[in-house]
Structure 1
Amino acid sequence: MKAILLLLIVINTSDAFLHFSKNKTQVTTDHRILANVKIYSNLAEIIQPLGKLPLEFSEDDWRDIRPDSLTLVGSNVTVTQQTITEKKQSLNNAHVFVRAPSSSNTETKFVKATLVDEKRNLVKLIDKDVSKEPIYFTASSDHIVYESDPPQSKYYVNFTFDTSDAVYVSYLRSNLNWKTRYQLNLFDESKSAVLISMADIRNDGQSRVDIEHAELLGGDINLQIQSNSYWKSGSSMHEAAAFDNSAGIHVASRKSFVPSIGQGEEVAGLYVFTVSTPFSVEGKTNYLLPMFRPRATVERFALISKYFSTAGASNGKAQRSYRLSADRFLSKGNCIIREYDRLVGETSLPNLAAKNPHDFAIGEDADVVYKENVTLISAQALTSVSSSYHGTHGQTKSTYNVNLYIKSYKNRPFKLEYQQHVHASAVKLIEPRTNFTLENSAVKYKTTLAANEEKVLSYKLEVVN
């Protein structure tokens, strides 16, 4: 399932900021005013006090709405009927200008006409060069010129329901979303790692939104919407960034103060982060707010990770790897990694529980190479095994000798880890197995290599297939 995040906000597109109150609920036909909005990573749930029925949506608004999500919510409401209708003012019998049939490739003439059937673009006109009587023909849509802006479709949603309490309308739309961004800064081993987390809120609409109260939820929720809206980037997009001043980043906010996000609290398997103060996001804007600053520990090491093969010799390079652990929950998001003030790569972090270590690699380390040679020592056929799925089949127990050569070209010591993943019915390390361990069908080895050091290692492996 998709891991997504949620943001609860109150929207108002007017200059005067409206405050949402349980004691005073304003009913409005503008679906962007005084709206309680829960924003996820790919869409938003809009919750508004129910106004006059039927509800009217413009074609631009409807383009971002998931129709089957429209419903009424409340503590005591029962919907007995619901209709969704598309309507557009007819242009039939409207006066237009159309390219005359007598026009040539060198001379284009437009004459006044009457649009008889807008679906077929059937027009009626008098072209003296063709006939003194009215003529009818179907014109190409790009040959018709209107005297005013043609009306667009509008969508009407109506309900019949029973209730004795306040009623709200709820629906999903795709022009609001948010995600988490991380920056991981690493220095000398003696200095603590710095993990910066930010909430990246995207307003993909045309109008500014004023956010009075916000709750960000990190966790695993599955919602889908079909829409033409998507996460955009490039010259047409501008960002409003708000970080703490200690990070040296410009603060761009309508308010004179920067909103802050509180510590996360676990609720029903999700984590809730509360935004302390109101803020605004302009249309077509990404607005970044600083989240918590977790205490993070990062272990750097070179990793040789491979899958066991009986083909004989193999070789390769180690991976530049990291083991990250934080003192609190980390929501899913992209992470850019810096070491000694230099960009070294990026990775996608999953949802991580507090103190749960996460390993990731960001590329090859050309200074650490290995060569491995696998030799078959013996093979023994075992008694046939009966399986309800595959019938009776035989198994073979094979013993291999694995010789491993590791060479460092670095001028400093570093940590190295080796992992050999074995797919088999049973795996066993045979003594002696100096410093090698077997964990979940993976042979593992950890060491610290000195500058320019090389190691020659070997172990025996018993595999049943």
Structure 2
Amino acid sequence: MTNIRNNEQSRVDIESAELLDADINVQMHPKSYYMPISVPSSIHNQFPNFVYGSHSSPPRSLLGQEKELSSLYVFSINQPFSIDGKTNHPLLISEDINGKAKRAYRLSSDRFLSRVTTGDHRVLATVKIYSNLAEIIQPLGKLPIEFSNEDWNDIRSDSVTLVGSNVTVTQQSITEKKKSLNNAQVNVRAPSSSNTETKFIKATMIDETRNLVKLIDKDISKEPIFFTTQPDHIVYDNELPQIKYYVNFTYDTTDAVYLSYLRSNLNWKTRYQLNLFENSKPATLIAMADIRNDGQSRIDIESAELLGGDINLEKYQKTHYMAGGYAKFESTYADMAPGAAGPPPPPSVGKGEELSGLYVFSINQPFSIDGKTNYLLPMFRPRVTVERYASISKHFYSAGNVNGKADRAYRLSPDRFLSRGNCIIRESDRLVGETSLPDVAAKNKHEFSIGQDADIVYKENSTLVSSYTTNTTSSPYGPKQSRTQSIYDVVLTLKNYKNRPVKVEYQQQVYGQSVKLIKTSNSNYTQEGSTIKATFTLASDEEKSISYKFEQVN
């Protein structure tokens, strides 16, 4: 399907047309793309009343077989057609081009019901919430479908399409409309007004784009006069009409049809709280799903899915998480009938299920989110193991003296997938820092630090032992290249000022064409690639000095 856009105000009637495609050096507006997808039969069973017969349509414009012309391709349109102002007019591409089969895709997914509020219109729909937007699927109602300007700003216009088990979209249009004020009665500042006296008189709007009005000002003429006034000199009797968007389709089907689109004002992220304890009590990790409704209207959701992982979905505008009120569970069920058995248990988020490298978290109860509100739901309670240690991680540049403090570091390993999110860390019921967790696979280890430890200090003295330069060549006739081989002696001194033992992990990244750790009597040091590592245990108030040598070739 291709998409033709008329960005002017007036309708265009086209008798015949050609579309040219290839590497053409002409500036043009961004394209919009429309992609039909399929919906599984489970959704149709949930909407038995939305069954449509076959929709016949008048002969529709199709793009014919392409012709090559000077390395460009020309597609002829075989029917006359019209495009209203501010309207997208998609056309079907001929099904058989040069005898080649179409590239076909069959997309399917399990979908859940929900209730979505769009302005004053409430319909049942499917909601799948991602980290930056949400996919909405709702039964198709009366055409054309109307969206307010506020709602449309949060919708990806290129994602609006019809879905169904066997629906075929033959034509689609997206039109921007606003009721004209031409011929409307308004009040304008009279031309005969002075700086000390202002008069407003009735007038007829002739052309709202130019603010051209017609009126009778007796101080000037008894006959109607026309003049262009300033926008702030016009007073309206009624509220000004708002821009609205209308989406219309022509389609063929024998089954239920649904409207699908992406909206950017509904999204989610994960919040974590990691609780650590001094004794042998295991660490606990609390996960909460933070769902944000950044729109103005309330959303009632029957059921939904949260999707986590590295998902490549883009939106046209950013949505920021803002401080706002949190919806209460009680408000979701405030309108229950008297004498009911009481509210059902509050919603919760189920264990994530892996799907093609992503993880799907199902919500088991209906819930509502007011506009401009963050709604937090409890998620799974993973089992985690957390190892504390002091970390010294640095880079080697040249010989000299370096001193500093170790970082307070942690090594976390969960028993299930963790979606990325912010994590607050508490030790013995005290807030000690926060970090951003990435997506962490089950049983994988993630290392992070949250600040320096003033009680663990180090000094490092690096001395150049020897250095010499040689000229080498890869072939008898090739250019000569110089190589500098240097040997350094490093003395690391650690001091623990705590009244308890501490584990310290040290690593130094050395840059060079080759790096080699020279054997030393201290077996703590090892080499991984160009990084030299060591692990030490310092007793209470202990100071320890350890040395090693390495060779660097540049």
Give the distance between the partners of 1:71 and 1:101, measured in 2 at CA.
Answer: 51
- Aligned residues: CA RMSD: 2.6
Give the distance between the partners of 1:375 and 1:319, measured in 2 at CA.
Answer: 25
Secondary structure of the residue aligned to 2:156 is: strand
1:381 aligns to what?
469
Of residues 144, 147, 168, the one that matches 1:57 is 147
Of residues 324, 345, 352, the one that matches 1:257 is 345
1:457 and 2:481 aligned: no
1:183 aligns to what?
273
Which residues of 2 match residues 62-461 of structure 1 at below 5 A?
A: 62-227=152-317, 230-234=319-323, 237-240=324-327, 253-254=332-333, 255-382=343-470, 384=472, 386=474, 393-432=481-520, 433-461=522-550
Q: 1:378 to 1:82 in 2, by over 3 A?
A: same
TM-score in terms of structure 2 length: 0.73
Displacement of 1:198:
0.5
Displacement of 1:417:
1.1
Q: 1:123 to 1:232 in 2, by over 3 A?
A: farther
Give the distance between the partners of 1:301 and 1:139, measured in 2 at CA.
Answer: 74
Checking the alignment, whether the CA contact within 8 Å between 1:419 and 1:443 is kept in structure 2 is yes
Q: 1:391 to 1:258 in 2, by over 3 A?
A: farther
Checking the alignment, whether the CA contact within 8 Å between 1:313 and 1:372 is kept in structure 2 is yes
Give the distance between the partners of 2:122 and 2:412, measured in 1 at CA.
Answer: 41
Give the distance between the partners of 1:362 and 1:391, measured in 2 at CA.
Answer: 50
Checking the alignment, whether the CA contact within 8 Å between 1:31 and 1:48 is kept in structure 2 is no
Give the distance between the partners of 1:161 and 1:26, measured in 2 at CA.
Answer: 15
1:42 and 2:42 aligned: no
Q: 1:79 to 1:391 in 2, by over 3 A?
A: farther
1:248 aligns to what?
none
Q: 1:370 to 1:102 in 2, by over 3 A?
A: farther
Give the distance between the partners of 2:274 and 2:449, measured in 1 at CA.
Answer: 14
Secondary structure of the residue aligned to 1:362 is: strand
Displacement of 1:197:
0.2
Give the distance between the partners of 1:100 and 1:459, measured in 2 at CA.
Answer: 92
Give the distance between the partners of 2:289 and 2:50, measured in 1 at CA.
Answer: 30
Q: 1:100 to 1:409 in 2, by over 3 A?
A: farther
Displacement of 1:256:
4.3
Checking the alignment, whether the CA contact within 8 Å between 1:370 and 1:404 is kept in structure 2 is yes
Map Cα deviations across residues 187-221 of structure 1 (whole Å, 9 max, x no partner): 11411111000111111223322222222221111
Secondary structure of the residue aligned to 1:68 is: helix
Displacement of 1:139:
2.6
Give the distance between the partners of 1:318 and 1:139, measured in 2 at CA.
Answer: 71
Letter in 2 for 1:142: D
Give the distance between the partners of 1:185 and 1:107, measured in 2 at CA.
Answer: 72
Q: Structure 1: any 5+ residue segments left out of the alignment?
A: 1-18, 243-250
Q: 1:260 to 1:47 in 2, by over 3 A?
A: same
Displacement of 1:151:
1.2
Checking the alignment, whether the CA contact within 8 Å between 1:26 and 1:34 is kept in structure 2 is no
Checking the alignment, whether the CA contact within 8 Å between 2:270 and 2:288 is kept in structure 1 is yes
Give the distance between the partners of 2:173 and 2:543, measured in 1 at CA.
Answer: 75
Checking the alignment, whether the CA contact within 8 Å between 1:207 and 1:282 is kept in structure 2 is yes
Letter in 1 for 2:538: L
1:16 aligns to what?
none
Give the distance between the partners of 2:386 and 2:328, measured in 1 at CA.
Answer: 27
Give the distance between the partners of 1:225 and 1:328, measured in 2 at CA.
Answer: 29
Q: 1:133 to 1:391 in 2, by over 3 A?
A: farther
Give the distance between the partners of 1:429 and 1:352, measured in 2 at CA.
Answer: 33
Checking the alignment, whether the CA contact within 8 Å between 2:405 and 2:453 is kept in structure 1 is yes
Checking the alignment, whether the CA contact within 8 Å between 1:385 and 1:395 is kept in structure 2 is no
Letter in 1 for 2:553: V
Displacement of 1:240:
2.4
Q: Alignment length, in residue pairs? A: 434
Give the distance between the partners of 2:50 and 2:371, measured in 1 at CA.
Answer: 24
Displacement of 1:268:
1.2
Give the distance between the partners of 2:221 and 2:400, measured in 1 at CA.
Answer: 90
Give the distance between the partners of 2:544 and 2:197, measured in 1 at CA.
Answer: 86
Quick one: percent identity of the two aligned structures? Answer: 67
Displacement of 1:253:
4.9
Secondary structure of the residue aligned to 2:123 is: coil
Give the distance between the partners of 2:237 and 2:45, measured in 1 at CA.
Answer: 46
1:14 aligns to what?
none
Displacement of 1:252:
6.7
Letter in 1 for 2:143: L
Give the distance between the partners of 1:168 and 1:350, measured in 2 at CA.
Answer: 35
Give the distance between the partners of 2:209 and 2:314, measured in 1 at CA.
Answer: 33
Give the distance between the partners of 1:137 and 1:393, measured in 2 at CA.
Answer: 83
Which residues of 2 match residues 22-41 of structure 1 at below 5 A?
A: 22-26=46-50, 32-41=122-131
Displacement of 1:179:
0.8
Map Cα deviations across residues 83-139 of structure 1 (whole Å, 9 max, x no partner): 211111110011111233344455443222221111122222233344444333333
Of residues 364-373 and 340-349 in structure 1, the stretch that sits farther from structure 2 once superposed is 364-373
Checking the alignment, whether the CA contact within 8 Å between 1:241 and 1:288 is kept in structure 2 is no
Give the distance between the partners of 2:528 and 2:122, measured in 1 at CA.
Answer: 56
Checking the alignment, whether the CA contact within 8 Å between 2:129 and 2:304 is kept in structure 1 is no
Displacement of 1:71:
1.7
TM-score in terms of structure 1 length: 0.86
Letter in 2 for 1:411: N
Secondary structure of the residue aligned to 1:395 is: strand
Secondary structure of the residue aligned to 2:159 is: strand
Higher relative contact order (CA closer than 8 Å, sequence separation 6+):
1
Q: Structure 2: any 5+ residue segments left out of the alignment?
A: 1-42, 52-115, 334-342
Q: Which of the two has greater strand per residue?
A: 1
Checking the alignment, whether the CA contact within 8 Å between 2:188 and 2:202 is kept in structure 1 is yes
Give the distance between the partners of 1:93 and 1:123, measured in 2 at CA.
Answer: 9
Give the distance between the partners of 2:49 and 2:533, measured in 1 at CA.
Answer: 63
Give the distance between the partners of 2:418 and 2:274, measured in 1 at CA.
Answer: 13
Of residues 258-267 and 301-310 in structure 1, the stretch that sits farther from structure 2 once superposed is 258-267
Of residues 160-169 and 269-278 in structure 1, the stretch that sits farther from structure 2 once superposed is 160-169
Q: 1:138 to 1:320 in 2, by over 3 A?
A: farther
Checking the alignment, whether the CA contact within 8 Å between 1:337 and 1:346 is kept in structure 2 is yes
